[in-house]
Amino acid sequence: MPDDAATEVRWPDRFVYLCTAGAGAQVNIAPMLHAGADRVVAVVIMVPVADPANPTAEEKAQAIIPADRIFSYATRVLNLATARVRRISGHPDLLSADWARSSRVATDLARELNAEVVFNVSSGRKQATLGALLEMMRRPEPKVTLLTVGSSEFVVRGITLGADGKIAESVLPVEATQQLGPYLTSYGFREIGCERRTRHQEWIEAQHNLVGAIRSLGYRTQQKVFGHFNRTVSTKRLNAPCEIPISTEIEGHMADIATMIDGCSVAHGQLRVESEDGLKFLTGGWFEAEVYTAVREVLLPTGAILAANVELTAAKRKRDGFDPAEVEFDVVVLGNDRLDLIEAKSTMDPKGLHGVIDKLAKYRTQLSGPAGVVWLVAPFHNQASLERLGLIEHAKHEGVRFFYGADAVAQMVAQLKERRSPRR
């Protein structure tokens, strides 16, 4: 460890990065990007596996696959030679000699490459972390900086320990943050249909004025108009051009909305829709656009990446010309190396909400880990009916933030804004 602790901890100019593989990929990958890729000269990955020749399913998910992703990131993104990325396995329950060996490999590489060691102590099995740390404490050189990564707020802090036992701890500067593609790859996914997503996003952003007009109708009118309309079209397979019967109760309001949409009109109890874009807007696109627009307004100053209609598949899936999506999300937010997933549902039928909650919970685990947040916004539902179906309790149990009722969008945006406020 270092002989004296500075008052402020900084990234070393050159360092060997030591970490323990764990399920939260970004906890290990993001600090390398924060430091600046040119500072990382080698990577040592501790892989907690009792029997590498016969790993358990949990060890594969929690250690082997994450280690493979760190290796892939270091060689493909940081362009390190494979000889400078080492994986060392050891028993997950022991402070064994394997973890001491990991420490020695890291420090030997640092001496060889005229570098320091940066040790991320936030991820993976603590036995591995402690085993390596105990070995480091016996070695005065090279200098070692410890890293911790915040969970509720993704902040990387550097720590040095002086000979007098005093600890210096500082938030480390961020040279760069993750883009959506590399982030997804680090969790074993890739985006497909990127051109479709870009076109859809441009379409959504072009609906800004129309979304404002829909919002100005007020909650009760929206609920009445789109509730009736959704019930009418829910059993139909529609393609534009088409005609949809409209009840007299909503005909006036629908006529006002139709005049604002190119190729739409109402006459004699029929809604005439000439374009696929008009049909997409009326059958739920309006609400996805409202949520996207509201999120964009509050997150644009933060520099977060915002994407709509994101389709994902497994990164290892073969590219054979037909690339089916495994899952799609209405809105995705990536900022401060954390991914949030948002689903916007304008339906009044609660039958599908249980499945939406399950989907969000599943991919929160697979794409974000403990620091990620997933959101379900369904304004045309009330607390009594949702409680009767057990959906509020189900969402709470699965870690899904569920917003419903007249102020659903406002509540979601307020929480998202608080969560995404700039780092302190």
The widest CA-to-CA distance across the chain, in whole angstroms, is 87
Confidence band for 21, pLDDT divided at 50, 70 and 90: very high
Question: Mean per-residue pLDDT for 13-36?
Answer: 88
**Considering only CA atoms, which of 103, 148, 109, 70 is closest in space to residue 1?**
103
| Model pLDDT, residue 360 | 95
Least confident of 21-35, 52-66, 129-143, 279-293: 129-143
Question: Mean per-residue pLDDT for 236-249?
Answer: 86
Query: Same fold for the domain at 15-176 and the one at 186-202+290-419?
Result: no
Q: Please name the residue that has the structure tokens 């590489």.
A: 109
Least confident of 158-162, 163-167, 241-245: 163-167
Residue 83: CB atoms within 10 Å: 8
Judged against a pLDDT cut of 50, whether residue 3 lies above it is answered with no
Assigned fold of 186-202+290-419: Trna Endonuclease; Chain: A, domain 1 (3.40.1350)
Judged against a pLDDT cut of 70, whether residue 151 lies above it is answered with no
Confidence band for 318, pLDDT divided at 50, 70 and 90: low
Q: Please name the residue that has the structure tokens 């007249």.
A: 406
Q: In CATH, what number does 15-176 get?
A: 3.40.50.10770
Judged against a pLDDT cut of 50, whether residue 199 lies above it is answered with yes
Judged against a pLDDT cut of 90, whether residue 109 lies above it is answered with yes
Least confident of 38-52, 67-81, 160-174, 232-246: 160-174
Helix (H, G, I), strand (E, B) or coil at 36: coil
**Could you give the CA distance from residue 408 to residue 402 in angstroms, rounded to a whole number?**
9
**Considering only CA atoms, which of 419, 362, 375 is closest in space to residue 401?**
375
- Pairwise pLDDT comparison (284 vs 186), residue with the higher score: 284
- Pairwise pLDDT comparison (390 vs 261), residue with the higher score: 390
The pLDDT mean for the chain works out to: 86
| Model pLDDT, residue 163 | 58
**Considering only CA atoms, which of 162, 130, 174 is closest in space to residue 10?**
174
Confidence band for 1, pLDDT divided at 50, 70 and 90: very low
Q: Please give the C-alpha separations between residue 219 and each of 40, 113, 192, 315, in angstroms, as whole numbers.
A: 53, 64, 35, 41
| Per-domain residue ranges of the chain | 15-176, 186-202+290-419, 206-281
**Considering only CA atoms, which of 169, 257, 248 is closest in space to residue 210?**
257
Confidence band for 330, pLDDT divided at 50, 70 and 90: very high
Question: Mean per-residue pLDDT for 296-316?
Answer: 88
N- to C-terminal Cα separation, the chain: 28
**Considering only CA atoms, which of 156, 138, 155 is closest in space to residue 146?**
156
| Model pLDDT, residue 400 | 95
Helix, strand, coil percentages, rounded to 5, for the chain: 45, 25, 30
Percentage of the chain lying above the pLDDT 90 cut: 41
pLDDT in tens, 49-80: 999 999 999 999 889 988 998 998 898 888 89
| Model pLDDT, residue 328 | 94
| Model pLDDT, residue 30 | 84
Helix (H, G, I), strand (E, B) or coil at 267: strand
Q: Does residue 362 contact residue 340 with C-beta atoms inside 8 Å?
A: no
pLDDT in tens, 356-393: 999 999 998 888 766 679 999 999 999 999 999 999 99
**Considering only CA atoms, which of 399, 396, 391 is closest in space to residue 350?**
391
Give 276's contacts (C-beta < 8 A, 6+ positions apart).
239, 240
Question: Mean per-residue pLDDT for 141-163?
Answer: 75
Alpha carbon 410 to its chain's center: 21
Q: Please name the residue that has the structure tokens 């500075």.
A: 6
Least confident of 321-325, 372-376, 394-398: 321-325
- Pairwise pLDDT comparison (155 vs 10), residue with the higher score: 10
| Model pLDDT, residue 37 | 78
Judged against a pLDDT cut of 50, whether residue 424 lies above it is answered with no
| Model pLDDT, residue 381 | 94
| Maximum mean pLDDT: which of 31-40, 106-115, 250-259 | 106-115
* Global confidence as pTM: 0.74
Judged against a pLDDT cut of 60, whether residue 423 lies above it is answered with no
**Could you give the CA distance from residue 411 to residue 121 in angstroms, rounded to a whole number?**
36
